[in-house]
Amino acid sequence: MTTTRERIEELTAELEEQCLRAVAAEWFGLNLLFFKGKLKRPAFVLARESARLGYWDRETRTLAITHACALEHPWPVVVDVLKHEMAHQFVDEVEGVFGESAHGPRFREVCNRLGIDARASGTRPRDASDEDRVIEKVARLLALAGSASPHEAEAAMSAARRLMLRHNIDAPATRRDYGTRVLGTPKGRTTEHERRVGMLLGEHFFVEVLWISVYVPTTGKRGHVLEIAGTEANLAMAEYAFAFIHRAAEDAWKAHKRAAKLKGNADRRAYMAGVVAGFHRRLDADARHAKESGLVWVGDADLHVFFRQRHPRIIHVRRGSQAGREAFGAGHDTGQKLVLHRPVTGASEQRGRLLGPSTH
């Protein structure tokens, strides 16, 4: 396994300079979006230390992001750390507050107003307790959903989804501790089946979703990944579902290709989009049945506020669909029979965590 030190050595002078330019570009955008352009450009540094993720130095007007932060965390975490340090800069240089501790009342008020994480780590710690217990119960039910008996498998999947629905309906009305996760690896272009998975998660797994642009320091390129926001239990479930559905769609295509004796992959994307669409339709039917039995999910207004604070400007883009293709229809039929389940063995073959070891 490559260590942080080894990765730092691989970061050439050119890539390091590009990374600093990417940090500066993020700073300019955040300055306009969150601070109304009131901050003055600081000196940007990529610091070679591992004790912290970033810092703001008032005396030298230096804003630093560390190598450990840039290389060992997803780019949205780098942006979160950058916003945190910009909040320090704002309190120092715009508001002129000097008599408080670094994370004093004024700093916390600014972070709360702008939806910035006031904790110095730049990442939100996960709470054990009820969230963990729910995740454990769901994991056990999803293991049962791997049963060879179709009826037992479907019953277990429905039970897992009802448990998540009941957990969210019964959640306290007070604002909960929300976090975010980044799903997938950065890509230059997203396919239809990937976009459909994102839409499915947003509608059926109690999370807010958004495709965001991220920078990759080790390549000097940008790509798109799916960011989800929600409570710990919902994030864990959505992350697992994301990985499971992608793997299931890929496996279904390979089986279809063999059965139909297809030579190429011309229909792969259309077929996989159909699989996701078919599974989405199945979840829609489950949601209608739950509603008929009195389990009605009305959404989480506080989560929506949290997400819109994090992303004040969201642009909706319409894209074409391959729904009319024959391969899409074949995939759709397969997707309607798909059962979300977890292997009984320890590590998940679908690469979703849900109480399994992370392979990211």
Could you give the CA distance from residue 131 to residue 137 in angstroms, rounded to a whole number? 10
Determine the average pLDDT of the residues in 258-279.
Answer: 95
- Residue 263: how many CB atoms within 10 A of its CB? 7
Q: Is the pTM of this model over 0.75?
A: yes
Same domain, 176 and 265: yes
84: CATH: 3.30.2010
Where does the pLDDT of residue 348 fall: very low under 50, low under 70, confident under 90, or very high at 90 and above?
Answer: very low
pLDDT(47) > 50 = yes
Same domain, 193 and 241: yes
pLDDT tens digits, one per residue of 292-307: 888 888 889 999 999 9
Average pLDDT, the chain: 87
Domain that holds residue 93: 4-114
Would 356 be classed as within a structural domain?
A: no
Would 310 be classed as within a structural domain?
A: yes
Same domain, 105 and 155: no
Same domain, 315 and 191: yes
pLDDT tens digits, one per residue of 167-225: 898 877 665 789 999 999 999 999 999 999 999 999 999 999 999 999 999 899 999 99
Same domain, 97 and 149: no
**Structure-model confidence comparison of residues 118 and 333, the more confident one:** 333
**Structure-model confidence comparison of residues 72 and 226, the more confident one:** 226
Same domain, 80 and 222: no
Could you give the CA distance from residue 39 to residue 25 in angstroms, rounded to a whole number? 14
- Residue 27: how many CB atoms within 10 A of its CB? 23
Q: What is the 3-state secondary structure (H, E, C) of 222-268?
A: EEEEEEEEECHHHHHHHHHHHHHHHHHHHHHHHHHHHHCCCCCCCCH
Q: Which pLDDT score, from 0 to 100, does residue 149 have?
A: 87
Would 120 be classed as within a structural domain?
A: no
Q: Using alpha carbons only, how large is the chain's radius of gyration in Å?
A: 22
